[in-house]
Structures are given as C-alpha cells and as structure tokens.
Amino acid sequence: MEKDIKKQVPVAKKINEFAFGKENYRLLFIGLAFIAVGFILMIGGGSNDPNVFSPAIFDFQHITLAPILVLTGYVIEIFAIMKKPKE
C-alpha cells in the first residue's frame, strides 16, 4: 500500500531550477523599458505660471503615445510572466 502512495506524488526534476528562463527575463526588461518610456513621455507640457493655460498638455505625445506605450509594456509583462521557459 505504501508503494502506491509514493508513486502518486510527483517529484521535481531539478531542485535548483529557476521559474523563468533567459527569454522571460529579457521580455520582462523590455516591458519595463516600455512602461518607463511611456511614463517619461507623460512628463511635461505644463506651464510654470498657474494663471497661464498651456495647450501643450493636450499634445499627441501626452494623450495618445504615452498611454499606448504603457499599456503595451503591461501586455509584454503579462506575456513574459505567462510564457513557459524552454527546457
């Protein structure tokens, strides 16, 4: 009876094996770079004087490009985490 129980328990192949492979880490850093660049592009466009309106905050860079880069970075991060490393 004890032999049957031991057969059912899965044994890990390698104890020192990492959860992510090289490609996963590479994709994680690429996604992090996309997110960082997106947030950097969101900076600026304001006015130094609070009484003066600056329409530069509604620029294509701040309203469209930066959020697209941030969302793309998050999608890359999710993909990098979900991707199985090559064995």
Write down the pLDDT at residue 53: 84
Tens digit of each residue's pLDDT (9 = 90 or more) over 55-71: 888 899 999 999 999 99
Cβ atoms 76, 36 nearer than 8 A: no
What residue type is assigned to position 30 of the chain? I
| 1 pLDDT above the threshold of 70 | no
Predicted structure pTM score: 0.74
Q: Mutual orientation of helices 22-42 and 66-82 as an angle, nearest 10°?
A: 160
3-state secondary structure of 38: helix
Instruction: Give the whole-angstrom CA distance, residue 29 versus residue 58.
Output: 29
When pLDDT is averaged across residues 10-23 and rounded to a whole number, the result is 71
